[in-house]
Amino acid sequence: MITGKFPNLRLRRSRKNDWSRRLIEENNLTSSDFILPIFLIEGKNKKQKISSMPGVYRYTLDKLSPFIEKAIRNKIPMIALFPYTNSRKKNELGTESLNEDNLVCKAIRLIKKKYKDQIGIMCDVALDPYTSHGHDGLLKSGYVLNDETIQMLINQSLVQAQMGCDVIAPSDMMDGRIGEIRKALDKNGLKMTQILSYAVKYASSYYGPFRDAVGSKRLLRGDKKNYQMDFRNSDEALREVALDIKEGADMVMVKPGLPYLDIIKSVKEKFKIPVMAYQVSGEYSLLENSVNKNLVHKDIILENLISFKRAGANAIISYYADRLNDIIK
């Protein structure tokens, strides 16, 4: 309902001065609104560029400390670990995901030993970084098997949680996996391990640079449309979230972010659950390349990030999270 009318009411009065604009601003960002993704690579003393993601790197474990310490100083609540798995360790079943000495597990142990609970650790639960076919589950005749994949995901979740992972994040989009993972965690004395479900993950063209970053893009056979969501659908997203909440999800993810602000808003309003948004690699690379080529002003980054908060996101996974001081000020 609109109260008052022009000329008695002039909305531009409150826009005249900077102090006044700040006084009535409805949404803002702090470091607590971010999750920092980190790409891992084997070896020593490497900080490796990712050509499709300017300003983003893969790190060997011995190069992680300065990056994590900066995140802690900047009061970022959580990091998310993603591995670039050597092709020799990939197979049809993705069994490297269950190896207690894989890149992610070694990183968890290292971070927990050095920093304890100064920062949270989130780990992706899916098989695509580990499979020779690039899919998130077990593949048969071009179709990703649901129930058989869930057993692998349960085992992967248990390994990560036992290593010290704080937040298990199934990103696979298999039906029923949240409930089965929750039961397995509880049964194994891991009741306090949180689950962040990628409840709404669309089959999107925005994921290309990420697949480069984890080394699955060239391996991918076909597409992921038989398990990730159709971008034409919104009601289906609410059904997915409702199911995952009933199965035990503590938080839910909407991925990608910017093209799905309507979904973030609907999920938040409907369920009142913590909602995370993923500003995915394609979103990041489009922005960063546009800024670097002076096609747009760098303030576009802040404008994009604020849109997630305005839609209702509690936090944002963003490759800009390590540069927040410059972006926010």
Say if residue 215's pLDDT is above 90: no
Does residue 16 lie in a domain region? no
Token pair 């609970």 in the structure block, residue: 117
Question: What is the average pLDDT across 45-63?
Answer: 95
Instruction: For residues 234-247, give the mean pLDDT.
Output: 98
Whether 193 and 160 have beta carbons less than 8 Å apart is answered as no
Q: What is the pLDDT of residue 218?
A: 79
The chain-wide mean pLDDT, for the chain, equals: 95
Q: What is the pLDDT of residues 120-143, one digit of tens each?
A: 999 999 999 999 999 999 999 999
Active-site residue identified among 201, 224, 268, 309 = 201
Other CB atoms within 10 A of residue 120 CB:
16
| Position 142 in a domain | yes
286 located within any domain = yes
CATH code, 234: 3.20.20.70
140 lies in some domain: yes
Domain assignment present for residue 38? The answer is yes
User: Is there a domain that residue 98 lies in?
Assistant: yes
In a domain, 323, yes or no: yes
Please tell me the predicted confidence (pLDDT) of residue 72: 97
* Residue 255 annotated to the active site: yes
pLDDT tens, 181-197? 999 999 999 999 999 99
Burial 245-255 (b: 16+ CB within 10 A, else e): bebbbbbbbbb
Full residue range of the structural domain in which residue 301 is found: 30-328
Given this model, what pLDDT does residue 134 score?
Answer: 93
Is 191 marked active-site?
Answer: no
**Catalytic residue, candidates 63, 255, 268, 309:** 255
Q: 């962040």: which residue's tokens?
A: 196
Number of domains in the chain: 1
DSSP string of 305-322, one letter each residue: HHHHHHHT-SEEE-TTGG
| Residue 47 pLDDT grade (very low, low, confident, very high; cuts 50, 70, 90) | very high
- Whether residue 1 is contained in a domain is answered as no
